[in-house]
Amino acid sequence: MTASNDVNDSSSCDEPIWTGTPAPKIFSIQVLMDYMGTATATQFAELVGVDRRTVQRWKSTGIDCWKADTLCVNAAGVHPANVYGRLWADSEKFATGA
């Protein structure tokens, strides 16, 4: 038995390329900072109990929906939908596949 390397072999063309869990939606920490009225990374870091460098990293890379949820509830005392609005609703649909 030999392996087929034929370019025209279409048996695998209908298979999905990636079947794993999709990457989480990324949210801007600046939106939460603005919502909370914090002007600097240092102010925000003190409010949420993290190092300023962590906030700087979040500003450059964003935060996933789980971190956004935790920060909104624990630091701002609100549901993330109050902060992110339609973006949050879209992420809920994305996460549930609805």
CATH code, domain with 63: 1.10.260
Q: Which one is predicted more confidently, 86 or 2?
A: 86
Pairwise CA distance, residues 42 & 97, whole Å: 37
Average pLDDT over residues 61-89: 93
Pairwise CA distance, residues 82 & 60, whole Å: 23
Task: With both helix axes pointing from N to C terminus, report the angle between 41-48 and 52-61 in degrees, rounded to the nearest 10.
Answer: 110
Q: Can you give the length of the chain in residues?
A: 98
Asked whether residue 9 is domain-assigned, the answer is: no
Helix (H) or strand (E) holding 27: strand 26-27
Asked whether residue 8 is domain-assigned, the answer is: no
Q: Which one is predicted more confidently, 17 or 42?
A: 42
Helix (H) or strand (E) holding 45: helix 41-48
DSSP-derived 3-state class of residue 63: strand
What pLDDT was estimated at residue 28?
94
**Tokens read off for 30:** 């600046």
What pLDDT was estimated at residue 19?
63
Asked whether residue 31 is domain-assigned, the answer is: yes
Average pLDDT over residues 47-53: 96
Asked whether residue 11 is domain-assigned, the answer is: no
Asked whether residue 21 is domain-assigned, the answer is: no
Asked whether residue 65 is domain-assigned, the answer is: yes
Asked whether residue 48 is domain-assigned, the answer is: yes
Q: Are 45 and 54 in contact (CB under 8 A)?
A: yes
Asked whether residue 7 is domain-assigned, the answer is: no
Count of domains observed in the chain: 1
